[in-house]
Amino acid sequence: MTQTKISFIGGGNMARSLLGGLIAGGFNSARLCVADPGEDQRELVQARFGVRAVVSNEEVAQIADVLVLAVKPQILKSVAQSLAPMVQEKRPLVISIAAGVRSGDLDRWLGGGVSLVRTMPNTPALVQSGATALYARSEVTAKQRSQAESVMRAVGLTLWVEDEDLLDSVTALSGSGPAYFFLMMEILEQAAIAQGLPRSVSHLLTLQTAFGAAKMALESEEDLSILRARVTSRGGTTERAIEVLESGGLSSLFSSALDAARTRSQELAVILGEEV
């Protein structure tokens, strides 16, 4: 990867997170460049990372070994179609971080036969703690898979799925997942405040408890159910609380929520992939 030239189409939050992660990991900033129509975005990228930022998508695509499409899904079709001649000529690895756009649609917009990796990162990537699933089309070589993984690993954990349809489930779990945990933390914080804890105390205890539980799970090789059982003493306070949550149908509620999110992801893929 040391000699690889990586170009970003779009200089928004996720692109800046990837830039920061790559540079922090030792990647040469001189081999990175960004195209964005917004002057403020270009100035921010240049000031923060010292990388070249220009207006023209074609200019950065022309020099790219790896081309990262980091634009909003709603404009990806027009951006991809404008880049198609350059992509067909240069044949870079293309990495899409646009949610909901199927690789087949994107490949068609880019002219076909493209080495394309579709990814589904999540918002904790903004603090280098993301979880990203990747799917590679058949044109992608083993070397290019490694390149894609190296790029996305700059902002957290990466893993591959071999069936693109599974990205809808990934979207429902980890893509939307941060919002589920924020909601649970918000509910816990408010409940503790209602019991009399000061807001600042409730807030910090909620955040640290969530962080600590996640850290314990990440560092353990045991199943989550075992970890939960270990902090659920028979006849104790935790057991009583868990009984209330289970009697309220928490498990089925989350199952229904993920089903709804996956279905919406499938619907959006159809909408975004429609040919005009």
What's the chain's average pLDDT? 96
Rounded average pLDDT over 174-198: 98
**24, 48 Cβ separation under 8 angstroms:** no
pLDDT at residue 215 greater than cutoff 90: yes
Whether residue 3 is predicted with pLDDT greater than 90 in this model: the reply is no
Q: The pTM is what?
A: 0.93
Model confidence at 275: pLDDT above 70: no
**CATH architecture for segment(s) 175-269:** Orthogonal Bundle (1.10)
Q: Is the pLDDT of residue 174 over 50?
A: yes
Rounded-to-integer distance, Cα 106 and Cα 128, Å: 27
Q: How far is CA 135 from CA 33, 97, 120, 132, in A?
A: 24, 11, 9, 10
The pLDDT confidence band at residue 11, using thresholds 50, 70 and 90, is: very high
- Distance between CA atoms of residues 119 and 189, nearest Å: 33
Tell me if the domain spanning 6-162 has CATH number 3.40.50.720: yes
| Alpha carbon of residue 52 to chain centroid | 24
Per-residue model confidence as pLDDT tens digits over 23-79: 999 999 999 999 999 999 999 999 999 999 999 999 999 999 999 999 999 999 999
Residue 274: the pLDDT is: 74
Instruction: Give me the amino acid identity at 120.
Output: M
Reported as a pLDDT band with limits 50, 70 and 90, residue 276 is very low
Amino acid at residue number 29 = S
Question: Using one digit for the tens of pLDDT, what is the confidence trace for 66-121?
Answer: 999 999 999 999 999 999 999 999 999 999 999 999 999 999 999 999 999 999 99
What are the two backbone dihedrals, phi and then psi, of residue 88, each rounded to the nearest 5 degrees?
-65, -35
CB burial string 194-221: b at 16+ within 10 A, e below: eeeeeeeebbeebeeeeeeeeeeeeeee
Look up residue 131 and give its amino acid: A
Beta-bridge partners for 132: 158
Query: What local confidence, expressed as pLDDT, does residue 161 receive?
Result: 98
Q: What is the mean pLDDT of residues 232-246?
A: 96
Tell me how many helices (H) and strands (E) the chain has.
12, 8
Q: What is the pLDDT of residue 121?
A: 96
Query: What are the structural domain ranges in the chain?
Result: 6-162, 175-269
Dihedral sign, CA of 196, 199, 201, 203? positive
Rounded percentage of the chain residues whose pLDDT exceeds 90: 97
Mean pLDDT, residues 120-144 = 96
The distance from CA 48 to its chain's CA centroid, rounded to whole angstroms, is 22
37 is written with which tokens? 């129509």
